[in-house]
Structure formats: C-alpha cells, structure tokens
Homo-oligomer: A and B are copies of this chain.
Amino acid sequence: MRGEAGGAGPRVVVVGAGFGGLWAARALAGSPAEVTILDRHNYHTFLPLLYQVAAAELEPDDIAYPVRGIVRRLPNVGFLMAEVTGVDLGERQVLTDGGPIPYDYLILAAGSRTNFFRMESVARCAFELKEIGQAVILRSHILRLFERALREPDPELRRALLTFVVVGGGPTGIEFSGALAELVYGVLARDYIRLDFSEVRILLLEAMDRLLPALPEELQTYAKGRLEAKRVEVRLGAAVTRATDERVYLKDGTSIATRTLVWTAGVQASDLAAGLGVATARGGRVVVNPTLQLPDHPEVSCIGDMAYLEDEAGRPLPQVAPVAIQQGEHAARNIRRQIEGRKPLPFRYHDRGTMVTIGRNAAVAQVRGRPVRGFPAWLAWLGVHLVNLIGFRNRLLVLVNWAWSYLFYDRGVRLISESEPARSQERSVPR
C-alpha cells in the first residue's frame, strides 16, 4: 500500500490522528516531506469533552472532526483510514490491515487505552470513556435503566438499576460524575416524575485518600465538597477488586449492587507500544530520548500518551492533551531539522495549567501555579475548551448545546440507541 500524499520528499508516516499526531502533521504542512496520517477512525476526537457525550449533553458529532476535512487544506499531507497492527523498525514499515506502508520518518502517536490493572472481571463488566462509541453506549445504557426502573416493582432491584458507580478520582471521573448528577437530578427528575429519586445513587470511588492528587489540597477539598453538594457520594480509600454485571466488590469486603460501573481509574499506552520491542516504563509507555526519538532509532519519534519522558524535576510528564500537542509540534520541528541535516532539539513542556470542571458554575484550575476555583475557573474552562475545538461549526454546535443546557436545565440529547451491543464487542483494542 502506498502512502496517500503526493510528492517526492522524504516519507513521514504519522500513526494516530489524536492531539499528538494531528498537531504533528499540521506542523509538517509546507515542509518538503510527504506526510501520511493513519488512524482507524476517519475523525479526530476531542477527548476532553467525551464525558459530556456520555452525559447526554453533547452529540457525538459535536466533538469529532473528519481528518480529511483538515488535511485537504494541507498540500503535502494525506490520510489513510487503516488499523495499524505493528511496526517493522528494521524494514522501516508500518504494518496495517491494508498492507505495509514504508517510511523514512515515523511519528508514533497512538495514544492510550483504559488500564484495568489486570482485573479481568472489571475489564469484562465496566464501561469505558476513551472513544465516541463507548460514550454513546454508556449514554443509552443509563437512559435505558431509568426506563426499566419505571417498570420495576421490586424496590431492591430498582435501587440497583438506579445505582451508578464511577471509579477514579481524576479529572474524567470527577467531570463525568458531576455531569451525571446534573443529568439525573436536573433533567431526568422531570422526565420520570413517578420515580422516587431518593432511590438514585451516584458514587465516585477513589482508591487513594484524595481526589485530583496533582492539584493543591484546597482545590481537592473544594472539588469534593461541590460533588457532594450535587449529591455525588465521594468515597476515598475505596479500591475495587472485582466486579460482576450485578455487583462491584471493594477491598474492604463490602460490595455495591449496580448495573453501571464506569472505569476512569487509569490508562496505559496503546498496545502498539508493547509490540515495538523497545524499553517501556510504567503503564507500558515507550521510553524516549529528550528529543522524543527512540534510543536506537533516530528516524522514529514517539509522543503523547504513548511516550514516557520525565521533566527537569524527574517527574513523568502527564498523559494529557497539552503534552501531546506540544510534543507533536516538537517532533515535527525535529524532523524538519533532520531533513535539513541539523541536530534534533530536546523537548521542554510548557505547563500552562490544569483545569477540571465539576459542573454548572463550578470548576477548579491551577494556572501558572495559582489555584483558581468556582465561577471564574468554570468560565475559563468553557472558554479554553471552546477555543481548542477544531472547526468553527463544531464550536458553534457545542455553544448552542451548552447554552441550551445552562439556560433551560435541559439536555436535548437523550436518545436511547437502537440496541445495546455487548460491551466487550465495542472494545477496539483486544485484551
């Protein structure tokens, strides 16, 4: 299989159209290279807002953008929809379901997948929040449980149907449980007037003794208080050990009857990393040089969630979008330098801050080391996410949906999809 872009310059293949890969490809536009992006989806997903699709606040298409819509404006960049199965570092070929694709330079930006920490039973039962398909399945599942609860005469079973367990006290777990509480108590309470909403429980479980460990204690306490004000039960020091379709078991010996276990407690590098045969660090992340190159392969860069690099203080860089974006742009710059016969430069992360929203009017943020919370943090969160969405149309649609939710305490998007596929079938990565 040939690459997609025309031209006779060196062939750069970019694996993954997430933040890292897409920003790398954009930064290579206009260079002498012939760039081909590969992804198994034909769209880029704006992952920071994925939880809002699961909470019926945004439509799937609002946070996705067709990759071809981006690359058609870049003359030397092409796209191929293909599933990457491996990399032959010796032969300099990317292996795909459509045949091998040769490269002169390679940027690996295949991202991460959910980490269940070898708990097979949890992997089998849990819902994930890493892909659009998963978010739509979770949304339909939640809404269907309310329809079922309405028809369920047994109070014990009804309570189990209406118990939602979110695992992971990081940004995704906090943002999703907050958004779920607003959906349930704000919107669904008016849709299901014959249901007793005191039977609904939303639990956020965190194995450690605090939420958001990377933020100052003041913000951790604020986030916990805001969630509890929204009727989310926050349980710290609560480690999940196993699960069935009907029950979640904790390390302290107790268990919770539920039909909904949402797992946001960890990620690990894409399976592609393990297949490379190079050194990996915690979470299966590929250890890279400060220049983002593989130690023995200067023609291969690895970036974003898939890569492992430490900052000046010896702390691993976090697996977040800003790191991926900056590394994508840096890897592109280094390849331009290599093409020109110059030495690649080491990467330095510019941390512009962290933001987590807890729902209506409430967020926490750390901007240049200063903690911010409440309404100002929430406004900043809205602004940053709107601005960073790709495409004016997507921004406009997200704005319409957000304004609608905010003004009318309503969600337009609460459709239950046709049929509920087996959760495990939807997983794109085998485990």
What residues of chain A have their CB less than 8 Å away from a CB belonging to chain B?
Answer: 1, 4, 6, 41-43, 59-62, 64, 66, 68-69, 72, 78, 80-82, 98, 131-133, 143-144, 147, 150-151, 190-194, 391, 393-394, 396-397, 400-401, 404, 410, 412-419, 421, 426, 428
Across the interface, A190 reaches (CB within 8 A) one of B4, B72, B132, namely B72
Assembly stoichiometry (copies): 2
Would you call A191 and B68 a contact (CB within 8 A)? Answer: yes
What is the CA–CA distance of A132 and B417 in the complex, to the nearest angstrom? 9
B151 and A61 contacting across the interface, CB-CB below 8 Å: no
Instruction: Return the contact of A60 from the options B400, B410, B415 (Cβ within 8 A).
Output: B415
Q: Which of A43, A61, A419 has the most CB of B within 10 A?
A: A61
Residues A415 and B61 in contact in the complex (CB < 8 Å), given A143-B42, A396-B400: yes
Residue of B nearest to A5 (CB): B194
CA distance A59 to B398 in the complex (A): 13
Complexed CA–CA distance, A190 and B71 (Å): 10
Contact of A415 among B4, B66, B416, B418 (CB under 8 A): B66
- Within the complex, the shortest CB–CB distance from A37 to chain B, in Å, comes to 13
Across the interface, which residues of B come within 8 angstroms of A396, CB to CB?
A: 400
Complex Cα gap A415–B394 (Å): 13
Beta-carbon contact of B393 and A192 below 8 Å: no
CA A129 to CA B157, docked complex, whole Å: 38
Docked Cα-Cα span, A419 to B131, in Å, equals 13
Kindly list chain B residues whose C-beta atoms are within 8 Å of the C-beta of A4: 150, 194
How many angstroms between the C-alpha atoms of A133 and B64 in the bound complex? 19
Given contacts A147-B81, A191-B66, contact A393 B412 (CB under 8 A): yes
User: Known contacts A69-B191, A194-B4, A393-B404; is A414 also within 8 Å of B147 by CB?
Assistant: no
Are B192 and A68 within 8 A (Cβ)? yes
Report chain B residues within 8 Å CB of A143: 42
